[in-house]
Amino acid sequence: MKKWIITGSVLTALVVAGLVIKGSSQAGKGEGDLPMAKAQRGDLVIDVLEGGNIKALNFLEFRNEVKLPGGIKILEIIEEGYHVTEGDVSQGKVLVRLDQSELEEAIVDHDVQFQQTDALYAEAKQNIEIQESEALSGIKAARQALRFALLDFQKFVGSQAAETTLKKLGLPYDNDTLAVYEKEATDLVVKAFESSKSVGAPGEAGEGGEENAASFALVANDSLVANVNFGSFLQDELLGDGEAEQKIRRMRDEALVASSELAVVEESVAGAKRLHERDFITKQTLENELVGLDKARLALQRSETELELFRDYEFPKEAEKMLSRYEEALLSLIRTKRAKLALMSQVYARYRSVKRRYDLELKKRENLAEQLAGCVVRASQTGLVAYGGAGGDYYASRAYDAITAGATLKTGQPIITIPDMSKLGVEVKIHESSIKKIELGQKVYITAESVPDKTLVGRIAKVAVLPDSNASRFNPSLKLYPATVEIEGTHEFLKPGMSAKVEIIVDELENVTYVPVQAVFVENGEYFVFLKTLGGYERRPVEIGSHNNEYIELKKGIGEGDLVLLKMPDDYDPDKVDKSRVAKRKTEEGTRPPQGGESKKTASTEEVGEPAPDDKV
């Protein structure tokens, strides 16, 4: 009996235990099968892991600079891997020799053309000096003729009368006003040759026309002399001590002498008549006296007529002729300057044209000489010789043929490269999700795959501003930014082209709580974790901080030792979340609304790298 009681009690206990276990299993709904991790507290290194290739930061690269349509052949080349020594550099050891025969023929052909161009250039330079001298002589002669014409006019009418007349006409009247006139004339002539400006003729309305009208009114009129009344010079006695006044005085004196002589002859004739009446003289003598009287009268008449003709005709004619000659000399000076300036413009244009051609031919000649010198590459730096250039996969490129003796090189094709082994670095490409974390000078740990047991230290030396176009050629959505890491120190075991892994230290956090990045999820702009509880799990909002590829910092929400799920439970239904609480959080914290209809996301490395505006990663 007692045995059955004990057996029944045990069975009852087992049934109760089974029910409890079953209820607990139903409450957890399978979360025991999900992976979990424990929240840890300690120091967390925020880093970015990338792979790349070791390269020489400094290198000497030799390219084919010969520009021949069919390329140029390699006659001889040093074997790849040859170590250039200091002795090789001092002796100028030949590393590469190219076939320069075709280039030498091109130089000979060009030399003939260059000599012709050089002769034309020398002739153009000499022609400038000759034409400039002739132009200056022509202008000097025109200027001298102008001064002589002014002096002739002043000499004829007198300086005072000449000055008064020229002032009324608005013409230069002395050396100072002539200088001003010439300067203004020169300015107008120069403006006429400025093709970029539209300047009217002197005296026209418009820019510069009115202010120069007085000085250059003669250009617009046919003649200014026609407006001068030279008869008033004699009526108003305006003539000075000029040549005309002296001539008038002489004629007046001659007429006065003739009048005096006539008076004497008349008295003589009167006496002769009285003597003839008394028969003291013969009739012949009287007739001689009468002839002398006629001559005296004619001489007086001739003197008076000559004076009148000079005053009425000869003086105005000579004065107008001299003033016209002076006016023509003014215009001649302008015409001479225009003609000489036009001629010199042609001379200068021809000189510039010849000089441009000469410069081009000279540059071509120098370029051919440089190409000829580039056909022989000599040692100028110690190091290992590698074929090809320093780009791409370091020394090879599909764009060019293999480097070997007899191969044909294209223009610009890399031939050999000598890297500087004393300064090496790693060329890496940073994903766009991590590029904003990278700064110059950040500490980097480098591990060469061929020597995994040695860790080297370096710094970020260069970060590209734009992504690599080649990386996105086949995948436009892929954005990788090239960066260069400079390795500290010199390490003999490193070789250019080796694969390496770099760990870029972004930040070093001390005494923080962190969990694996797979444990953090984002929903409606809110970050949360699934916290393991006795009855199953709990959705717990958290505040995230910085993260690396493995762990993420949690500033609020959980503590050290808490267990979190690394996978979202299959039975999790976001619709059961308190919508009012989510809406309230959006209003208070300004989070962005859900996008694309996605209600559930896992905070992977890329997801955490693009947090909501209020979250700091």
Q: Which of 184-193, 351-360, 434-443, 510-519 has the lowest mean pLDDT?
A: 184-193
Asked if residue 307 belongs to a domain, the reply is yes
In the chain, what are the helix, strand and coil shares in percent, each to the nearest 5? 45, 20, 30
Q: Could you tell me which of 244, 253, 241 has the C-alpha nearest to residue 311?
A: 244
Residue 399 has pLDDT above 60, yes or no: no
pLDDT above 50 (res 617): no
The answer to whether residues 194 and 259 belong to one domain is yes
Q: Is 527 found in the same domain as 403? A: no
537/404 same-domain check: no
Residue 106 has pLDDT above 60, yes or no: yes
587: CATH: 2.40.420.20
Average pLDDT, the chain: 80
Domain match, 304 and 414 both? no
Most confident by average pLDDT, 10-19, 242-251, 373-382: 373-382
Q: Which are the contacts of 237, defined by CB distance < 8 A and separation ≥ 6?
A: none
Structurally, the chain folds into a number of domains equal to 3
Same domain, 352 and 380: no
Q: Distance (Å, rounded) from C-alpha 436 to C-alpha 244?
A: 101
Which CATH number fits the domain that encloses residue 413? 2.40.50
Residues 207 and 297 grouped into a single domain: yes
CB 16 within 8 A of CB 457: no
Residues 38 and 89 occupy one common structural domain: no
- Over the stretch 56-94, which tens digit does the pLDDT of each residue have? 888 888 999 998 888 999 999 999 889 899 999 999 999
pLDDT tens for residues 3-33? Answer: 333 334 434 444 434 433 333 333 344 445 7
Closest CA to 457 of 427, 491, 430, 496: 491
The C-alpha angle with vertex 555 and arms to 552 and 559, in degrees rounded to 5, equals: 90
**For residue 186, pLDDT beyond 60:** yes
Q: What's the mean pLDDT in 306-316? A: 84
Q: What is the pTM of this model?
A: 0.53
**What is the mean pLDDT of the segment spanning 131-157?**
90
- Residue 292: what pLDDT? 87
What's the pLDDT at 420? 83
Co-location of 83 and 146 in the same domain: no
Examine residue 366 and state whether it is found in any structural domain, yes or no. no
Is the pLDDT confidence value at 415 over 80?
yes
Q: pLDDT band for position 536 (50/70/90)?
A: confident
pLDDT in tens, 467-518: 888 777 777 888 899 999 999 988 888 888 889 999 998 888 899 999 999 9
Confidence at residue 96, expressed as pLDDT on a 0 to 100 scale: 94
Q: Is residue 449 part of a domain?
A: no
Cα dihedral 288/292/293/296 (nearest 10):
170
The domain boundary, picked from 325, 358, 391, lies at 358
Beta-bridge partners for 237: none
- The CA distance from 194 to 211, in Å, is 20
Task: Give the Å distances, CA to CA, from 420 to 424, 490, 609.
Answer: 8, 11, 38
**Helix ranges restricted to H, 445-550:** none
Q: How far is Cα 512 from Cα 202, in angstroms, rounded to an integer?
A: 89
Q: Which residues is 486 bridged to in the sheet?
A: 425, 459
What percentage of the chain reaches a pLDDT higher than 70? 79
Show the domain range for 389: 66-97+375-418
User: Does residue 505 fall inside a structural domain?
Assistant: no
Q: Is the pLDDT of residue 233 over 60?
A: yes
Domain presence at residue 485: no
Tens digits of per-residue pLDDT, 202-222? 444 344 444 443 344 444 445
Report CA 227 to chain centroid distance, whole Å: 60
Model confidence at 615: pLDDT above 50: no
The confidence score (pLDDT) of residue 22 equals: 39
Residue 49 in domain: no
Q: Is position 182 within any domain?
A: yes
Residue 514 CB partners (closer than 8 Å, separation 6+)? 39, 40, 41, 42, 44, 551, 552, 553, 554
Residue 287: the pLDDT is 87
pLDDT band at 223 (very low <50, low <70, confident <90, very high): low
d(CA 166, CA 323): 9
> Residue 554 belongs to what H/E stretch?
strand 551-556
403 closest CA partner among 102, 103, 100, 95: 95
**Region 132-148: what's the mean pLDDT?**
91
State the pLDDT at residue 391.
62
Q: Are 38 and 170 contained in the same domain?
A: no
Percent of the chain with pLDDT over 90: 31
The C-alpha atoms of residue 484 and residue 438 are separated, in whole angstroms, by 11
Name the residue with higher pLDDT: 511 or 195: 511
Do the beta carbons of residue 88 and residue 418 sit within 8 Å?
A: no
Asked whether residue 351 falls in the same domain as residue 380, the answer is: no
Burial label, 365 (beta-carbon count in 10 A; 0-12, 13-18, 19+): middle
Domain match, 77 and 140 both:
no
* Residue 582 reports pLDDT greater than 80: no
- Pick 219 or 155 by higher pLDDT: 155
Backbone region of residue 524 per phi and psi (left: phi > 0; alpha: psi in -120 to 50; beta: other values): left
pLDDT confidence of residue 459:
94
Q: Mean pLDDT check: name the lowest of 22-26, 89-93, 373-377, 462-466.
A: 22-26
For residues 207 and 328, membership in a common domain is answered with yes
Q: Which pLDDT score is estimated for 379? A: 92
Picking from 522, 570, 574, 568, the residue whose alpha carbon sits closest to that of residue 547 is 522
- At 249-286, the pLDDT tens digits run 888 888 899 888 889 988 888 888 888 888 888 888 88
423-450 pLDDT, tens digit each: 899 999 998 888 888 999 999 999 999 8
Q: With cut-offs at 50, 70 and 90, classify the pLDDT of residue 585.
A: low
pLDDT band at 237 (very low <50, low <70, confident <90, very high): low
Whether 173 is covered by a domain: the verdict is: yes
Residue 198 has pLDDT above 50, yes or no: no
Running DSSP on this structure, what letter comes out for residue 382? -
